[in-house]
A and B are shown apart, each in its own frame.
Chain A
């Protein structure tokens, strides 16, 4: 397939892997964090670790919007749909994420709540058009990549005068999360940055990683060769004692990003003073809320949605996994009490969760090691 096969070529991969093996210094270890869950899945799905020397350790970051959504925000959605008897549209991934006391949207659906799985916010808008007598709420989650489409659709709803449609906004921002990880310390030698986010925000917002924390960051695409190349670029910087922001994904990312999309986000959203992340806690300036001018399309302003504090399951180590402090297999309930069928934490549910990636693609390594 054009534009894909080129980035999955096994022979090119062998060449790059050989280059990396030669480049690594013999007596040092490299801890590299890929921020984004999409990268984690590419690593596991293509078996990228098999091609790397043992001295390179990949640490998985918090870049999974489903994973970082705190239980309380999810529980608020469950209570909203059951109390207001409205139609809640959600991505499939969210349906099985545990809220308070293990409740899920899927269980609410089985109890009779009208919860519809959609592939995009446009599908939710379509449902609102088709059911003018019902209130329709879209459960918006995601980093900067998925935020502009939310802005476009809210504006569309405004233009159409569609008053039965609103958005439960849970959009979060990448740089503040990275800032929190760096502030917490840790031994990460370099970062792989998410290319899709950078198609919107550009590479400039990551400059602080290099400038203030002296860590290299390479923005990489999601194909396996992109990742190998980014790893090679990071190794080069680390060996040379450099710390700059480099762009591997030159086919779509520029320093300034997509100004039009940024403008749309600016027009529609304001930055929340603080927002709770599962695993990372309350982070300042880390999430977006819909501006008061568009209050009519903001579920949080339209309906009563009191903040809910819900504790995660006691045995769940999602927090440590999201901070990169623990590997999925280090969690005591990984693959035993917590499986994709019966998840105790969000990282086992999401298609971008590190635990799900290890469970689906990498369990045999753990078995071989024991």
Chain B
């Protein structure tokens, strides 16, 4: 039977919306998958239309990570939930120093969600995956009744491989190490926040959402003995540093003046009373390496387009309390504590 016989009428992307049947396992679901997802993500694994993807992996250490995305609004300056869901998982894999290879994507769609919006999101994912050189090889679609979701939630899972000799883990941060940051903080969170219904600020801030694996590859080539990498997403730089300090049983000392921060983010933060140290990033990374290798790592980061504003922002110290302390621009010291409560819900 030809495809034409199976789906005599094409999906009405311009006017149609998600119906319960699109998750029902029948013809409507098959059509949605074929005309929307397969067309956008097209690759040899998806073309088999099996329930899973099969592939060979070079003999090597594997890395696997998963990430759910519930950002609101779905479209924001500088990106959307689609590219974010690809970048988010690629970055989680890359933070082990790994080269990401394949992604799986799972969609929870709400009844009534416009197909045109879904197409935009799916195409954004496809473009992000292509640009990153990572294939989306398997996926799943479920539909929930109107009011039981919020348009679309996307979970992506990724796997990658790590080169021999590279061991990157937060637990390796040790006293004396340098702390590097790849660029200006707070842009994703502030871009999303500025679009929230009850705020609607007119600002030039764009989300920094980006896949960081190529930057990581350049960094690992320059300094294979990087001790730790982390992308400071939810909870921002402050939370990521506290997590590492706790995991490694160390403290950190930061220089506020060294932390890259753009003026519009700072201004909006001032206005809303939000500290950019706690605002989410989606295209930045923290690196911790032996102090002797810090300059070389910094140079490698600055050579890459995603690390041009990289800076050494502090050092790891011995501290039984695992405190992250910061010398302020003003000349005093303060603690940079864990984020308390939920500063910005549904930011990624």
Contact = CB atoms under 8 A, between A and B. Distances in A.
B97 to A, nearest CB: 32
Contact of A363 (B272, B323, B329): B323
B341 A340 contact: yes
Contact of A361 (B267, B270, B337): B337
Contacts of B199: 119
B336 to A, nearest CB: 8
A361 B341 contact: no
A309 interface: no
A106 B21 CA distance: 37
Interface size class of B (residues with CB under 8 A): 20 to 34
Nearest to A359: B337
B163 interface: no
A47 B332 contact: yes
B331 A47 contact: yes
A45 interface: yes
A355 to B, nearest CB: 12
Contact of A364 (B266, B270, B325, B329): B325
B189 to A, nearest CB: 16
B332 A48 contact: yes
Nearest to B342: A92
A14 B198 contact: no
- Secondary structure type dominating chain B contacts: loop
B321 interface: yes
Interface string A113-132: 00000110001001000000
Contact of B335 (A14, A96, A123, A360): A360
A54 interface: no
A10 B330 contact: yes
B273 interface: yes
A160 interface: no
B328 interface: yes
B238 to A, nearest CB: 10
A331 to B, nearest CB: 18
A46 B337 CA distance: 14
Contacts of A10: 329-331
A340 B321 CA distance: 18
A46 B341 contact: no
A356 B335 CA distance: 12
Nearest to B321: A367
Interface string B250-271: 0000000000000100110010
B333 interface: yes
B334 interface: yes
Contact of A8 (B323, B330, B334): B330
Contacts of B337: 359-361, 363
A55 B179 CA distance: 36
- Secondary structure type dominating chain A contacts: helix
A51 interface: yes
Interface string B312-348: 0000000001010101111111110100110000000
A360 B340 contact: yes
A134 B274 CA distance: 32
A224 interface: yes
A1 B198 contact: no
Contacts of B334: 44-47, 361-362
A50 B337 CA distance: 18
A102 B321 CA distance: 29
Contact of B332 (A49, A119, A341, A367): A49
A14 B331 contact: yes
Contacts of A351: 273
A217 B196 CA distance: 42
A128 B197 CA distance: 15
A10 to B, nearest CB: 5
A343 to B, nearest CB: 10
Given A1-B263, A51-B332, A118-B198, A367 B323 contact: yes
A13 interface: yes
A120 to B, nearest CB: 9
Contacts of B321: 363-364, 367
11 contacts: A4-B270, A44-B334, A47-B328, A47-B331, A47-B332, A119-B272, A224-B332, A340-B341, A360-B335, A360-B340, A364-B323
Interface of A: 1, 4, 8, 10, 13-14, 17, 44-51, 96, 118-119, 123, 126, 224, 340-341, 351, 356, 359-364, 367
Given A360-B340, A362-B334, 8 more contacts: A13-B330, A45-B328, A45-B334, A47-B331, A351-B273, A363-B321, A363-B335, A364-B321
Interface of B: 198-199, 263, 266-267, 270, 272-273, 321, 323, 325, 327-335, 337, 340-341
The 6 closest A-B pairs by CB, nearest first: A47-B332, A340-B340, A50-B332, A46-B330, A361-B334, A47-B333
